[in-house]
Chains A and B, each alone.
Chain A
Amino acid sequence: MQYSQKVLDHFMKPHNVGKMENPDAVATEGSPACGDQVSIFLKVDPQSLIIEDIKFQSYGCASNIATASIITDLAKGKTLAAAKQITWKEAADALDGLPPVKMHCSVLAVDTLRKAIKEYEVKHQLAREEKFTKDTIVEELRKVIYPKVGEDIVTLRMVKYAGFENGIATVDIDIPKIDKYRDNVAEEIREHLGKFPEIKEVRITL
């Protein structure tokens, strides 16, 4: 078994699982086509901005469910500002690690939490929608994990070029021809960049 006992514990008996009635904010990330989707519901105290209650729903594998469970544990009782700072590495560490090929589950859980927080902040005029720039693309590429080592493709310097012009996002990736994760990395990039309405087309060179 490649999963730690802690992953299995959270998978078998997840914390804070289920739908929330009348949440203050809700976010859903991922898609059934990719095999993982997480929804996070927040209840926030408007004075202290502390996350009073948090729930999740998950369609996905064991590590998807476990990372969603641990992220709710980590975020509960924290202020929105503090919860935003939780990284996918911290979430993975809190589970005593994840197999490299499963690291993207932690990214998805953190991403969903941050999106839910953002939604609350925008709704309450605490933050504005961010303007889309070329940097948005690079930030989004930081969420694409190279499954072989469990690290993101920007940190690994696999992104040779990222550009944006006339609605076309261009990404050059350095990955060996025989790499079994080649298709997966390309698909992940498409999925991540595809959700921005500003991007009409994604061109990937491998």
Chain B
Amino acid sequence: MNRIYFDNCLTSQPAPEVVAAMLPYLRDKFYFPKNFILDGSGIQNDLDRFRNIIAASMGAEAEELHITSGGTSANNIGIKGYLMANAARGNHIILSVIDYPDLLTNASFFEKSGYDVTYLTADPDGFVKLAELKQAIKPSTVLFMTTLVNHVVGAVQPIQEIRKVLDSSGHKIALFADACEAYGRIPLDVNKSGVDLMTVSAHKIHGPQGVGALYQRRGIALMPVKHGVNRVDNLETGGVSTAAIAGFAKAVELTFQDFDKKTAYIRELSDHLLHRLETEIPHIMLNGPRGMLRAPHNVNVSIAYIEGEAIMVMLDLAGIMVATGSACASQGLKPNYVLMALGRNHEQSHGSIKFTLSRYNTREEIDLTVEKLKGIVAELRSRSPLYNKE
């Protein structure tokens, strides 16, 4: 059975070209770089080329880019490295309660070590409130962190306006963007957006798992937080899979070739999905913003009177993979914290289904999924004590 995959926010299928690009580095070209032998320097040249490709995709220079063992590693190296290098300047951090767990857990780690942390709220659509940010800034503020595209509701944060607010404080506040969910889905330029530190991940753009990158603007100091032997990157010490980096670069090439066309196609699909859901399934509600302020690949809806894990399992048995914000499907049996922070109640969070699309999805898949889902919703509602058929 051909599976239909709508969980590209979690991870995405590696492109066939990506797998092909990786294979030589798993076979003959298995060396680490810089070994003063021909093959080793060949690897160094390859890695330089890959680094250039990845850096160019976000308007950065290769020297500003660290290759890391994934998005979470990049987040740790960036956040911890920056705060430790700037400890003498201040100890106040600002982020939002709806940020990605990497950001929240790092903030909580620093909070426990004595840092001052402000957790901003979000508006009902999932955007950081600029006035609240402005108010939160103190002379001791050194870092503001944001999840550029929210991982649950797809809200694209107003990064340029955020930059302006930070700059209006009159002292240097670094802007850190976790762009793992944004990269390859919305246009990203480190100079236009004004980020000082930004992280991306390969496996969300049809690259391999276990590799990502950290952008570090020139002049932004980072203290090394991972100590060890220097192989590929001076901050991500130890070996980083050359094959994975090769795959990452290939995924970037594929994603950013005809980028506007590809993202327009994905937006067309998700618009079609949302339109059919809203017109054909009663008592359904969109979570997050509408239109261009939403990343093109994300459709998150709450379906009333039924529970998301049951919907997810039924779709899964029909060969369709989605995600849910239900506590029943979560690690700690808690409803999704982002939806709760946006003012959704428990029931709406339990009944939420998240579709995250990719360029490999088709209109036929969307139509088939809507048909299946209509049957599933009707069936589960017929069993639910909360649903009264009028």
Which A residues lie at the B interface, using CB under 8 A?
1, 3, 8, 11-12, 14, 17-18, 28, 32-39, 57-62, 64-65, 101-102, 147, 180-181, 183-184
- A40 vs chain B, min Cβ distance (A): 10
- A20 vs chain B, min Cβ distance (A): 12
| The stretch of B38-46, B61-69, B248-256, B330-338 that contacts the partner chain | B330-338
B332 and A35 form a contact (CB under 8 A): no
A59 and B314 form a contact (CB under 8 A): no
Chain B residues, CB < 8 A from A34: 327, 346
Q: Is B386 part of the binding interface, using a Cβ–Cβ cutoff of 8 Å?
A: yes
A38 to B307, CA, bound (A): 13
Q: Is B219 part of the binding interface, using a Cβ–Cβ cutoff of 8 Å?
A: no
A158 to B127, CA, bound (A): 41
Quick one: which of A36, A59, A65, A183 contacts B305, CB cutoff 8 A? A59
A34 to B309, CA, bound (A): 13
Chain A residues, CB < 8 A from B327: 34-35
A65 to B384, CA, bound (A): 10
A61 and B329 form a contact (CB under 8 A): yes
Q: Is B382 part of the binding interface, using a Cβ–Cβ cutoff of 8 Å?
A: yes
Chain A residues, CB < 8 A from B369: none
A8 to B307, CA, bound (A): 16
Q: Is B116 part of the binding interface, using a Cβ–Cβ cutoff of 8 Å?
A: no
A-B contact count (CB 8 A): 81
Q: A61-B307, A64-B307 are in contact. List 16 more A-B contacts (CB 8 A).
A: A1-B316, A3-B313, A11-B313, A12-B314, A17-B382, A33-B345, A35-B328, A36-B307, A37-B386, A59-B305, A59-B306, A60-B307, A60-B310, A62-B309, A101-B333, A102-B328
* 15 interchain pairs, CB-CB under 8 A: A3-B313, A12-B317, A28-B385, A32-B350, A33-B345, A33-B347, A35-B326, A35-B350, A58-B384, A59-B305, A59-B306, A59-B384, A61-B328, A65-B310, A184-B332
A59 and B386 form a contact (CB under 8 A): yes
A34 to B332, CA, bound (A): 13
Question: Per-position contact with A for B344-370: 1 when CB-CB < 8 Å, else 0?
Answer: 011100100000000000000000000
Quick one: which of B333, B335, B350 contacts A147, CB cutoff 8 A? B333
Question: Per-position contact with A for B114-127: 1 when CB-CB < 8 Å, else 0?
Answer: 00000000000000
